[in-house]
């Protein structure tokens, strides 16, 4: 059996989740008549202390809608240069919002309030109007790095003081909350809109949520429709999301332990230059010799271990609920046995 570290998106629904999905009551959600979709949206909005939520097809969709709610054509969003919204959403900010980006370099995918202040454009007709700040927590390209909550609060306070809305790409925010221990409502109160993936470490097969104010979500429903994301008897998949939020949050800490055990066990191998600090379920290794990246990935594949190239010099491993302790040990043994060079 393959040990699949490529992403936490590769998880398959458990028997319990599938049973729950099959029992879902459904209706036409475009008519607002799917009780399970409505239950998921209500559960999520209450969980995060927000007014409303919208079930979306993917994290890209919930991010793009959240961004479009706040950006006008010719406007600008401030985000980290490695952020998913900029790098991995098919140019969606330009395409969907007609807007520009101001990219900030930072500390393992995280930015701070001084950088944000500096990145806000003055009122000058030459410059795009700064209209949104977007954070990513955990930061994927930063190796699953978690924001210090005080840094988020500083950015949020500044944004409030100048009337800038804040979006959170919280694809893995439940991993972040597992580590920082902040109460979900308090954490969520810092942001205007939040995107949360159900299909990553939470183990649902599909779906994301956009969470925010009632009038935002009403408008978001219209944008989602125009993107082709109005879904009919979506209760079957919404049920998986409900099951995930109710059963798979507490266990995320197990994925984090597996990731740190994996990283610690291999960090001194001679072909590894650096293992990024591991806070959550992502292990990124920088290679001594980047030209060997394809060879290493291929050698692992031949031993049924799958992982992804991450940029030109690194490899990423992601732990999740379909990777057992035993498989972590097998992967460590294989990594240690590789003859590189």
Residues of this chain that bind ligand PLP (CB under 6 A): 58-60, 63, 84, 136, 140, 169, 171, 197, 199, 208
Nearer to ligand PLP, 37 or 176 (CB): 176
| CB closer to ligand PLP out of 243 and 272 | 243
Nearer to ligand PLP, 63 or 280 (CB): 63
Phi then psi for residue 32, to 5 deg, are 70, 25
CA 183 from centre of chain: 18
Q: Which residues contact 162 (CB under 8 A, 6 or more apart)?
A: 120
Q: How far is the CB of 163 from ligand PLP (least distance, A)?
A: 26
Secondary structure element (H or E) that encloses residue 79, with its range: strand 75-80
Q: Alpha-carbon dihedral of residues 248, 236, 23, 42, nearest 10 degrees? A: 60
In 3D space, the residue among 119, 122, 107 whose CA is nearest the CA of residue 79 turns out to be 119
By beta-carbon proximity to ligand PLP, the closer residue of 59 and 143 is: 59
In the complex, minimum distance from the CB of residue 84 to ligand PLP, in angstroms, rounded to a whole number = 3
Q: Compute the least distance from the CB of residue 135 to ligand PLP, in Å.
A: 10
For the bound state, the minimum distance from the C-beta of residue 140 to ligand PLP, rounded and expressed in Å, comes to: 4
Residue nearest to ligand PLP (CB): 59
**What's the CA gap between 195 and 64, in Å, rounded?**
9
DSSP state for residue 233 in the 8-state scheme: S
H helices, E strands: number in the chain? 14, 13
Helix (H) or strand (E) holding 320, with range, is none
E runs forming strands in the chain? 3-4, 52-56, 75-80, 100-104, 129-136, 166-170, 193-197, 208-212, 272-275, 282-287, 305-306, 308-310, 314-318
Nearer to ligand PLP, 227 or 338 (CB): 227
Least Å from the CB of residue 137 to ligand PLP: 9
Q: Report the nearest approach of ligand PLP to the CB of residue 59 (Å).
A: 2
Residues whose CB is less than 8 angstroms from the CB of residue 113 and which lie 6 or more positions away in sequence, other chains included: 151, 154, 155, 158
In the complex with ligand PLP, the residue whose CB is nearer, 60 or 279, is: 60
CB of 77 to ligand PLP, least distance (A): 14
Q: Closest CB to ligand PLP among 83 and 130?
A: 83
């Amino acid at each position: 059996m393959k040990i699949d570290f490529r992403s936490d998106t590769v998880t398959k629904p458990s028997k319990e989740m599938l049973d729950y999905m099959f029992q879902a009551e459904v209706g036409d959600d475009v008519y607002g008549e799917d009780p399970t979709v409505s239950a998921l949206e209500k559960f999520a909005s209450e969980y995060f202390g927000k007014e409303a939520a919208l079930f979306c097809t993917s994290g890209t969709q919930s991010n793009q809608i959240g961004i479009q709610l706040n950006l006008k054509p010719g406007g600008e969003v401030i985000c980290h240069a490695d952020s998913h919204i900029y790098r991995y959403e098919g140019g969606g900010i330009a395409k969907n919002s007609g807007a520009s980006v101001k990219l900030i370099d930072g500390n393992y995918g995280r930015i701070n309030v001084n950088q944000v202040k500096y990145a806000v454009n003055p009122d000058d007709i030459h410059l795009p109007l700064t209209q949104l700040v977007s954070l990513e927590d955990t930061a994927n390209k930063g190796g699953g790095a978690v924001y210090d909550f005080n840094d988020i609060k500083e950015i949020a306070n500044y944004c409030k003081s100048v009337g800038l809305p804040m979006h959170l790409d919280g694809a893995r925010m439940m991993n972040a909350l597992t580590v920082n221990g902040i109460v979900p409502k308090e954490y969520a109160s810092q942001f205007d809109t939040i995107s949360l993936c159900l299909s990553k470490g939470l183990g649902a097969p599909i779906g994301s949520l956009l969470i925010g104010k009632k009038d935002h979500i009403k408008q978001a429903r219209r944008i989602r429709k125009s993107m082709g994301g109005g879904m009919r008897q979506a209760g079957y998949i919404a049920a998986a999301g409900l099951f995930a939020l109710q059963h798979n949050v507490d266990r995320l800490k197990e994925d984090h332990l597996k990731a740190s055990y994996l990283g610690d066990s291999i960090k001194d191998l001679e072909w590894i230059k650096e293992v990024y600090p591991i806070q959550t379920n992502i292990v990124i290794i920088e290679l001594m010799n980047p030209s060997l990246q394809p060879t290493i990935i291929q050698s692992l594949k031949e031993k049924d271990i799958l992982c992804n190239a991450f940029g030109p010099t690194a490899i990423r491993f992601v732990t999740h609920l379909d990777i057992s302790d035993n498989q972590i040990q097998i992967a460590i043994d294989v990594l240690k046995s590789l003859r590189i060079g």
